[in-house]
Structure formats: structure tokens, C-alpha cells
Amino acid sequence: MKRIWPDVDGRCIERFILELGARNAKTPVVYRCILSGFQRFVMQRNRRRSLDEQTIKAWLHERIAQWPLHIVFHRARLVDRFLDFLATEGSIASNPLHKLRMQYGQRTTTPIVRALLSSSSETALEALRPLPRFGSFLGPLMLYHVTLMRDMGYRYETPANRFLYFDRYLQKNPHLDGQPLAVLLQEWRAIRPTPEHAWQCHELGRDLARAWRRFEPMIPVPKPDRQLCQQLKQQRRRPHIYTEQEVQHLLETARRFPSPCAPLRPLTLYTMLVLAYCTGLRLGEIVGLNLGDVHLDLGEIEIRETKFFKSRTLPVPNSVVAALSDYLHARRLAGGPQQADSGLFWHQQRAGRYSYVMTEKLLVRVLRLSGVKPDIGGLGPRIHDMRHTFVANRMLEWYREGINPQARLPYLATYLGHRDINSTLAYLTITNELLQLAGARFRAFGAHSLHVAEGVDNEAD
């Protein structure tokens, strides 16, 4: 298609704004003003109306003299999106900002803009170029080990990420090339003297030693540091077990969540919290639900390919079925797609479903608005504590019904998607009520046996 931008009548800008589908009436006016100003600058600067990196750079330097830095970043992102749109429809040959992002390995526009605004843009751009993956002197060994573990069927995500962090550290410190493993780990551990980082260094050392032993059998594998593990557990935050009053307050806050531009969002957040509290689903499992995974006629939901490669079908209580039914009805009225593979928790943006990051931010905001969590900071209850609460409540119900919880733990582990009950035991938080019920069960079934044993001993004396 023949290049037609910049155009005098502004039709390209109008097509772009129309495709955005802005819900706020002021947004098209603001965007039109910004993009029209950018178009005029391109036309005035270059009579051939061509667009290149130097033109973008000149526009940024002119705007930084008029706008604050954060405004420049925001409007440069808008221009980047506009130029991507023009390149897609063929109105321009290419987007210079997109080429810079691809060349220097950046997913977002802001680092590129910051580099173009610096006094030495070439040096700043080169500093953005990411280091090669597994490019250190130990990189081939680590890559071989990660590939081998994945070929054996492991996801191996967490150890692989540790290897990548360590690999980048080695690339930035070439003076460590050829040093023994103990020296490398000691140097890396010294950069952040915290128990969490020390534990990461220890686990990395064990994984790296195992990989090295395939080529040098005499390499020793460090033993597990139980003292460090215990110290780390003591410093970690204890889970918060939500009370019924807190959960009720959270649900009411979610239903009143301020969202004038997304009317379905309050009910969406409410339904997410109902699922988290009543089924103990992980946040990623909630976000990953599709419309076809919900079977209201059977009272079941299907969880597909989550942690540990597990899929499972979960029966849900009638209260959850009712909440899902109300949400699906509202979703249908709001125009949500009805295909089985569409996201259960749908919104009108281009992605069509809530991401993990956005869902977590919104639910944390519900926690803060309800007063359960402080207004700022990372302290206070977490969304994942709903899963701990689910396990604690399930244990309480079994004690109240006179059921031996130990016999039911394998079923609970399967419901939660755990490999075995050892993972489930990490969620068993001892509350006062649970301790009282466990004590009462012991007195009912175990105390009599103790008295019988005491009587036998007395007769022997």
C-alpha cells in the first residue's frame, strides 16, 4: 500500500482513535490534539514527510522543553502506538521506535525515550542492550542442565531463573572467570546480605554442583543448610486467616468497587473473591479459567494444566454456583463473548480477559478499601491467604462433624492441586478454635487410653 502519512486531513489519526474504542469522551479529544501536534512537527521538519529516528529524537527534545518528563513518556507511548498502527495498515514503511525496541531488546517505549533524551543517546541505547542468555563462562553448563531437566519432564522455571540471574552477574564481573564454585557463590552472596538471598545462593550452589558433577564427579554437592532454612521460615510472614466478618466486609467492598468505566468490574471482583474463599483456588487458576471450564448444571469447575502439570475437576458448593450464575448472566448482558475458550473473567479491552498482574492489583485495592490491609506498604493480609483460610475452615468443619482430618488430607491435597499431603501441610495454620477442637477430640478418643495405661502401671507396682 502506498504511504499516505502525514496526511493533511488527519484521516489516519481518526482511524487510529476509532480503533482504540475509548470509553471516556475526553480521551479522543486529548489524543487527537497530541497526535496532530506530532504530525505537524514531522511535516514542518522534513519536507519529504519521511519519518526516521532523528525526527523522533528532535520531537522529544522539543517536547521536553515544554512538558514534564512523565508527560513526555506518556505521550511518546501514545505516538509509538500510533506509529505501530500506521505501519500495520501500510501508511508508513516502519515505526522507528519499534525498530529501536527490537534492536535493543526492550518491551516498552520508556527506556528508549529516556535514552534518546540523554546527552549521549548512542551510549545510552547501547547500555539498554540485554546481555546474551547464558553468555558467561558457566553459561553452557547451566544451559545444558536446564535443557536436560526440561527434557526429563520438569518445568524447572525457578532454578532456571536463578541460573539466569547468576549468569548475568558473572557477565558483569569478568574478573571472576575461572574461579572455583565456592568463590563464585561467596562473591554473589555478598552483594545482598539477606537470609532470602543467602538461601537463593545456597540452592543455586546445589543445583550448579549437580550439573557440574556430570562432567567432574569429584565436585562436592553442598549439604542442605537447615539452620538457614529455619531462620528464613521464622522471618517469613505468617498467613492471615480471614474471619467471617472480614470476608463479608471484603465482598461488600468488592460490590461497591468504584469503576464507572467498567460496570461489570465490581461483580467480577466479587466473584473472584467468592472462588478464592470457597474453593481455595490459586490466583493464577482463577485468572486462567475459561467460559467452558464452568459447568453450572453439574456444580463443577475445571482447572486445566496448572502447577505441577495438574488438571482437576472440582465440585463447588451451591453458594459458588449461585455467584457464578449471577456473574455469567451479567457478563452475557454486558456483551461478553460466549465462546468456550474465551476468558471467564472478561473485560472490554483488547486482551479480552484480566491478566494476573492486573487482577492482583485490583484485589489488593479491594483489601485496602475495606480496611483489612493498610493503605500503603506490603504489610497486612494477602490474596493468597484466602487459600490458607480455605484449608483452615475445611479442617474446622471436619472436626465439628467428628471426622478424622488425617484420613481426609489426601482428598484435600487433590482438591488443592498438590502433589502430596506434604505440600498441603504447609497450609495448616493452627488457630485457637482449631486447637480447642483438636484438644477436645484428643480428650474424647485418647485420654481414656492414657487412664487405662496408668491403671495397669499402678497394678504392676
Residues 267 and 312 in one domain: yes
From CA 79, how far away is CA 364, in angstroms rounded?
A: 32
Do 276 and 327 share a structural domain?
yes
Q: In percent, how much of the chain has pLDDT > 90?
A: 45
Query: Is residue 292 situated within a structural domain?
Result: yes
Whether 377 and 248 share a structural domain: yes
In-domain check, residue 31? yes
Catalytic residues, which ones? Answer: 282, 307
Give the total number of structural domains in the chain: 4
End-to-end CA distance of the chain: give it in Å, rounded. Answer: 105
User: Does 82 map to a domain?
Assistant: yes
Instruction: Write the CA distances from 191 to 127, 169, 454, integer angstroms.
Output: 21, 10, 60
Instruction: Identify whether 252 is part of a domain.
Output: yes
Q: Which of 132-146, 202-216, 322-336, 410-424 comes out lowest in average pLDDT?
A: 410-424
- Per residue in 90-129, pLDDT (tens digit) is 888 899 999 999 999 899 999 999 999 999 999 999 989 9
Express each pLDDT in 192-222 by its tens digit: 888 888 888 999 999 998 888 888 888 888 8
249 lies in a domain? yes
CATH number of the domain at 307, please: 1.10.443.10
The yes-or-no verdict on residue 450 having pLDDT over 60 is no
Cβ neighbourhood burial of 433 (10 Å; 0-12, 13-18, 19+): middle
**Same domain, residue pair 367 and 395:** no
Do 302 and 370 belong together in one domain?
yes
DSSP 175-227: GGTT--HHHHHHHHHHTS-SHHHHHHHHHHHHHHHHHHHTT-TTPPPPPP-HH
Same domain, 231 and 279: no
223 is in which domain, residue-wise?
139-235
Q: At which of 202, 235, 268 does a domain end?
A: 235
Residue 453 in any domain: the answer is no
Cut 0.85: pTM above it: no
Residues 143, 114, single domain; the answer is no
Confidence category of residue 443, pLDDT binned at 50, 70, 90: low
pLDDT of the residue at 460: 47
Examine the domain organization and report whether 156 and 124 are in the same domain: no
- Indicate if 376 and 316 belong to the same structural domain: yes
Q: 460 lies in a domain?
A: no
